Structure 1
Amino acid sequence: MPATPTRTTTSRRQFLALLGISAAAVSCGTATASGGGGGGAQIKKLKYQGAVGSVTLPELAADLGYLGDVTLDWVGNTISGPQDIQSAATGQTHFGGAFNGAVVKLASSKAPIKAVVSYYGSDQYSYGGYYVLEDSPIRSARDLIGKKVGMNTLGAHYQALLDIYLSRNGLSKTDAAKVEPLVVPPVNTEQSLRQKQIDVAVLSGVLRDKALATGGIRPLFTDFQLLGAFSAGTYVMTQRFIKENPDTVRTFVTGVAKAIEWSRTTPREEVIARMTAIVKKRGRNEDTATLQYWHSYGVAETGGRIGDKEFQLWLDWLGDRGEVKKGQLKAADLYTNEFNDYRKGA
């Protein structure tokens, strides 16, 4: 049986709690994530969190030999972007990745972090879709009033895209508030839709492909249709770590950039084979079947370079929601491309 969808208020509170850390908490991070300091040797082993059954861009970069003398130290897995960047901000890891809106939210709490390279996004191959049953009466944004939309978490990528879709299709804030986003575990989302526990299911990746193969569902819209190709998430590091370990950061960022382009220009079958070998080699007893559905990382810009637009959209969205004070942050202050040497100047 699918898990019971979680009510909006509870999940939103949990999400904001993940991001509600103070500058004081950040300053108390572990010494291992602080950097060389005092002119000492720069840190070359980077602690990070991975994901079960998949290969992150840093892991791919390491396997391809793009990280030089920098190595990765896996400390566990995560399914939460906000938790991942919180771990980086508090010094439990050296880098973490999340949806750019979550990065904005964390920065607004005065966490001294900086985005250094994009790592995922949406394109024609990799995207998130909002699906309804084939015979559903839902055909437009207005049809969503009073309906339930199941997604993996609230206050993040998929709720943001839902809000933008409703706004661009003429719904007032009052009417949009009547659309109910609910948290449903990704593995249960398709079943929840088919059993009519929810009216719309947000599906992506292998779960989307499997659901489409089964049939009986159709897309209402996708984030790619809504915004075109765009980079949606970035890896962040603390400003202190960047300052004290500039060579390590440059190697890491440029290596990830090279891995993005390798995955983009290499035949898909070869990329999947490489990823499968990486997962098997690390020996964590993981299922590699889902790797067969990989299409792309979805990063829009060459080498994962970041631009103002990657953050401005979410600054505006969070400002309209009252979660970030308008004018508190500038997009250009949230990221740096200084350490990305992939085809610099090209």
Structure 2
Amino acid sequence: MLSGTPRREFLGLLGIAAVAVSCGTATADKGGTKKLKYQGWAGQVTLPELAQDLGHLGDVKLDWVGNTISGPQDIQSAATGQTDFGGAFNGAVVKLIAAKAPIKAVIGYYGSDKDAYNGFFVRQDSAIRSARDLIGKKVGMNTLGAHSEAMLDIYLRKHGLSEAESKKVERVVVPPVNTEQSLHKNQIDVAVLGDILREKALENGGVRPLFTDTQLLGDFTAGSYVFTERFIRQNPDTVRTFVTGVAQTIEWSRTTPPEKVIERMTAIVKERRRNEDSAALKYWKSFGVAETGGRLADRQFSLWTDWLAERGQIEKGQVKPADTYTNDFNGYRKKGSHSS
């Protein structure tokens, strides 16, 4: 979808957007639906899942329809009505909106900070020490056209590689659970590892970071949950309950000891009985959302509108950051706060 993604995937986005425009999402029940179809992640607990378990979603219920390993795929499913909401890297949200999909970001759900960041790791004995050393090497990541590829491109550009040189750095899709193993087996030269999988790899040893996304951009909210505009019009109360509940859960995770959050998430995985391993949850530290309650701002999208325009993926000015999101449904407020 973004730089390095085959042209057919971009054309596929146009088709997805056309379907979304013509069909939208499923028609809401009278008074608005209270059930939200969604995709999860194997062995992980998403913020909405945690919010539901904590009782923060009120009478709104989640309806799991399967798992995904790709943010872009997740929001495509939301755009076409296969699910009611999805979450992805903000650059992927911009790209889908540029392809005329009528979606709107409503809350940030993941990001990078000192506890939750994506690192580009090499083997401890690797000769790779700089951006230029990556020419001709393989970088393993969970999906193309999303957060990891964007960070790689920014890193290469920041360290002076030309577009032609950057294209010689091979991006390889590797399932997240296999990325560390692929690095140690020399199947890839660099492994992109985040959060739980990063902590597990560091504990196992034998790897070192070449760079991290926080070294490039500081603390930032990287991805958002989206609904279609039609779904929002038909179900405003449900969207408000969902967004505010997720916001409340973000703040709950900040003020609750990590071991208690892990204990809660582990129980959720065991209780849902999806034949998955919850062992890696012990490495969780943070969701990494930078703003209070996951509120969104232009800066979270302008970086990607500019970046995509520079690479010819969208036209300059085609997508205005302020048009990609809304905070209208986020009712979370800090105690004693009267700010909007």
TM-score, scaled to structure 1: 0.91
Structure-2 separation of matches of 1:193 and 1:53: 21
Structure 1 counterpart of 2:196: 206
| Other structure's SS at 1:110 match | coil
Contact 2:17-2:79 within 8 A present in 1 as well:
no
- Runs of 4+ aligned structure 1 residues displaced above 6 Å come to none
- Partner residue of 1:27 out of 10, 13, 21: 21
2:252 alignment counterpart: 262
Map residues 147-296 of structure 1 onto 2, 5 A cutoff: 147-296=137-286
Alignment of 1:1-346 (within 5 A): 12=6, 15-16=9-10, 19-29=13-23, 33-36=26-29, 40-343=30-333, 345=339
Which residue identity does 1:26 align to in structure 2? A
| Alpha-carbon shift at residue 187 of structure 1 (Å) | 2.5
Q: CA deviation at 1:149?
A: 1.4
With over 3 angstroms needed to count, the CA separation of the structure-2 counterparts of 1:22 and 1:131, relative to structure 1, is closer
Q: Secondary structure at the match of 1:130?
A: strand
State the Cα distance separating 1:14 from its structure 2 match. 6.7
SS state at 1:120 partner: strand
Q: Indicate how the Cα distance of structure 1 residues 23 and 52 shifts in structure 2: closer, same or farther if over 3 A, else same.
A: closer
Aligned length: 334
Q: What is the aligned-residue identity percentage? A: 67
User: For residues 232-266 of structure 1, what are the alpha-carbon distances to aligned partners after superposition, in whole Å with 9 as ceiling and x for unaligned?
Assistant: 11000011111121111111100000000001110
Deviations 1:70-115 (A, max 9, x none): 1111111111211111111111111111111111111111010000
Task: Give the secondary-structure state (helix, strand or coil) at the position aligned to 1:132.
Answer: strand
* CA separation of 1:22 and 1:211: change in aligned 2, threshold 3 A: closer
Shift of 1:28: 4.4
C-alpha separation between the residues in 2 aligned to 1:172 and 1:55?
40
Change (3 A) 1:191 1:54: closer
Provide Cα deviations, 1:170-206, integer angstroms capped at 9, x if missing partner.
Answer: 2222322222222222222223222323221111233
Instruction: Determine if contact 1:129/1:223 at 8 Å carries over to the other structure.
Output: yes
Answer whether contact 1:18 1:82 (CA < 8 A) is retained: no
Tell me, what secondary structure is at the counterpart of 2:15? coil
Q: Hey, what's the Cα distance between the residues in 2 that align with 1:235 and 1:141?
A: 32
Distance change in 2, residues 1:188/1:18 (3 Å): farther
Mapped to 2, the partners of 1:264 and 1:19 lie a distance apart of: 36
Query: Structure 1 residues 195-204 or 43-52, which shifts more?
Result: 195-204
- When the two chains are superposed, the root-mean-square deviation of aligned CA atoms in Å is 1.9
Equivalent AA in structure 2 for residue 199 of structure 1:
D
* Structure 2 unaligned blocks of 5 or more: none
Report how far residue 18 of structure 1 moved: 5.5
* CA distance in 1: counterparts of 2:183 and 2:269, whole angstroms: 31
1:154 match: secondary structure: coil
CA separation of 1:215/1:22 partners in 2, compared to 1, >3 Å: closer, same or farther?
Answer: closer
Query: How far did 1:17 drift?
Result: 5.7
CA distance in 2, matches of 1:14, 1:326: 22
Q: Which runs of 5+ in 1 are unaligned?
A: 1-7
